[in-house]
Amino acid sequence: MSPPTGDQKLIQIVDAALADSAQRSGKWLACRPGCSHCCVGVFAINQLDALRLRNGLAETEKTDPERAARIRKRALDTVARLSPEFPGDPVTGLLSEADDEAACKQWDDFANDEPCPVLDPATGTCELYEFRPVICRTFGPPLMAEGDLGVCDLCFNGATEAEIVACELKPDPDHLEAALLEELEKTTGAAGETIIAFALVRETGN
């Protein structure tokens, strides 16, 4: 399935914003190839991210089938491990939308030590880097989330609040991602959030 026509534009906007923030961040940014701190512990991704990852795996199967097979096996193994305690529907891979205290605690306690199946354990690098989710593209620099400006634990050590604010990343100022998600749901029915392992082995949202 092809992503909405605006998805490539979204990625270009996000990547340009990241490059600008990284330049302003300079020495404060610890992110380097092989640093996989943010690749351990599951996190929610949307249907655009899931589709991008599946298309990336399909492309990899054409160009490097052995690498694709390794990714798929890690994803299948991860799904098998996580399914019994999955905070959602393990058949579709969709996360629960409940926001009560019990549901929030289940999610907070879920798979915090689980490495991403796309992470190459030998090199500590992403094997679907070109197709990675938006959250993966924006982790590290200061990013506003739920009213707070957060940064990676490894970055901005010793920086003042003003120095952090000056490097804020604004990845999608025109809210293009929300519009594309709405378009995707209208045209395909794909909706809801999942995690990377399930995105790679389930047709989520269908």
The pLDDT value recorded for residue 205 is 44
Weakest mean pLDDT among 33-37, 65-69, 118-122, 181-185: 33-37
**Cβ neighbours, 10 Å, residue 27:** 9
Q: Are 14 and 175 in contact (CB under 8 A)?
A: no
Q: What is the mean pLDDT of residues 38-60?
A: 96
Per-residue pLDDT reduced to its tens digit, 75-86:
999 999 999 999
Please indicate, yes or no, whether the overall pTM of this predicted structure exceeds 0.75: yes
Contacts of 7 (CB under 8 A, 6+ apart): 48, 52, 180
Helices and strands (DSSP H and E) totals, the chain = 8, 6
Would you place residue 1 in the very low, low, confident or very high pLDDT band (cuts 50, 70, 90)? confident
Strand spans (E) along the chain: 88-89, 94-95, 119-120, 125-126, 143-145, 148-150
Would you place residue 47 in the very low, low, confident or very high pLDDT band (cuts 50, 70, 90)? very high
| Burial letters 46-81, b for 16+ CB under 10 A, else e | bbbbbbbbbbbbeebeeeeeeebebbbebbeebbee
Per-residue pLDDT reduced to its tens digit, 136-164:
999 989 999 878 898 898 999 999 999 99
The pLDDT value recorded for residue 32 is 86
Angstrom CA distances, 80 to 58, 115, 198, stand at 21, 14, 10
